[in-house]
Amino acid sequence: MKTTRKYGEVCMVCEEEKDQGLHILHQFICQECEQKILTAKTNDDYYKHYLSQLRKLKLVNASS
């Protein structure tokens, strides 16, 4: 029986573990969510969800 191990980080938007994405202010956003955010229209169903999740970005020592 083969054991599969996951490697990656949890996306702050979809909250799933993914391998590829970007970091903004020490927080991870997966590639899929990045693309959805970039192409989202303000009338899209998930637009409010994206905004809500992005509000979680914390400015870490922004005055430095």
Confidence band of 2 (pLDDT split at 50, 70, 90):
low
Classify 18 as helix, strand or coil: strand
Q: On the CB side of 11, how many CA atoms lie within 13 Å of its CA?
A: 18
Residues whose CB is less than 8 angstroms from the CB of residue 20 and which lie 6 or more positions away in sequence, other chains included: 8, 30, 31
- Domain chopping of the chain, boundaries: 12-54
**Helices and strands (H and E) in the chain: how many:** 2, 4
Place of tokens 């990045």: 34
For residue range 3-61, list pLDDT tens digits in order: 555 578 999 999 999 999 999 888 899 999 999 999 999 998 888 888 888 888 875 55
pLDDT for res 51: 87
- pTM for the full predicted model: 0.72
β-bridge partners, 22 = 29
Query: Residue 57's pLDDT is what?
Result: 80
